Amino acid sequence: MAAKRAERLVNLVIALLGTRQYVTAARIRATVPGYEPDDGTARADEAFKRMFERDKAELREMGVPLETGRTSVFDTEDGYRIARADYELPEITLTGEEAAAVGLALRLWESAQLAGAAHSALVKLKAAGVDVDTGRAIPLQPRLDSDEPAFEPAYAAARDRRALEFDYRRPDEEAPARRHVQPWGVVAWHGRWYLGGLDLDRGAPRVFRLSRVVGTPRAVGPAGAFEPPPDVDLAAMVAGQIRGEEQLVVVRARPGAAIGLRRHAVPLGPAEDGDDRLQLSTTEPMRLADQLAAYGADVLVESPTAVREAVVERLTRLAGMT
């Protein structure tokens, strides 16, 4: 359905739901955006009639209870309305866990392909009086970033149970290595996407951060080639790997500076020179070094030495460019 036609149908439904009286075709033509305006010509009248007849038929095909009638005996022509009692959804009751699941799904499918469907579902549930909790505290924080090109092929391969191959660069490796995986699923953890599955080269379960995938993953082999273990817990797999990769970085920040950095830091108290000591946790120390370098003289890295040297190297390189 064309976007203009869909918008016109929505406007028509809203207009007919908002009144208890029957609304004539002439009134609909004058008040609902999207219809051929009345310019006094026979061509415009015929165009409106054809358009309105198609819209009525389509609404009825979709199950919208469009009624035809007259408000009083003095009316000279039929009008239209939608009985709210017949149109509204029946009462829907969700448990707290079900409402949280709906909220999770809405945040997950915030992609260009599925945003419309998710929004439509949210509108219908809210119209029925359901309190859909999109912000309830749950362990997953899904977010599909536009710069995550590996998501779509990884998700599709896991859904179709097809083997996947891709180049993967670990933080401690200079060059990416080719990986062959049976993808069990894609899961979000603390704002990042991970692929969990069986690493065929190592013969053991592994977790791969999608932001470290180089290029576009490629599905190989037939669909339905494997089944994930029935008791697999992807979130637990990711959590275990993250704990093993986390590195603590201690920095000093000038009072009142580095506000963005402080949002993710643990305060350690003041230093002897009056600066604030902060502790940061990261699984990508070199990316953190890029962020710290952006604060310039407002931030000084205490430890570890590798991160401090990386920040100094970046600042030195930037100074040479000025």
Residues 28 and 87 in one domain: yes
Residues 230 and 279 in one domain: no
CB atoms within 10 A of CB 177: 12
pLDDT in tens, 232-289: 888 888 877 766 567 789 999 998 888 888 888 889 988 888 899 999 888 777 778 8
Residues 180 and 218 in one domain: yes
Residues 235 and 263 in one domain: no
Of residues 173 and 205, the one with the higher pLDDT is 205
At residue 91, the pLDDT reads: 63
CB atoms within 10 A of CB 155: 17
Domain coverage including residue 270? 247-320
State the greatest distance between any 2 C-alpha atoms of the chain, in Å, as a whole number. Answer: 90
Residues 252 and 221 in one domain: no
Residue 77 pLDDT > 60: yes
pLDDT band at residue 124 under the 50/70/90 scheme: low
Residue 132 pLDDT > 80: no
Answer whether residue 229 is part of any domain.
Answer: yes
How do beta strands 79-82 and 163-168 pair? unpaired
Answer whether residue 132 is part of any domain.
Answer: no
Contacts 24+ apart (CB under 8 A), 275-279: 275/300, 276/252, 277/250, 277/251, 277/252, 277/302, 278/250, 278/251, 278/252, 278/253, 279/248, 279/249, 279/250
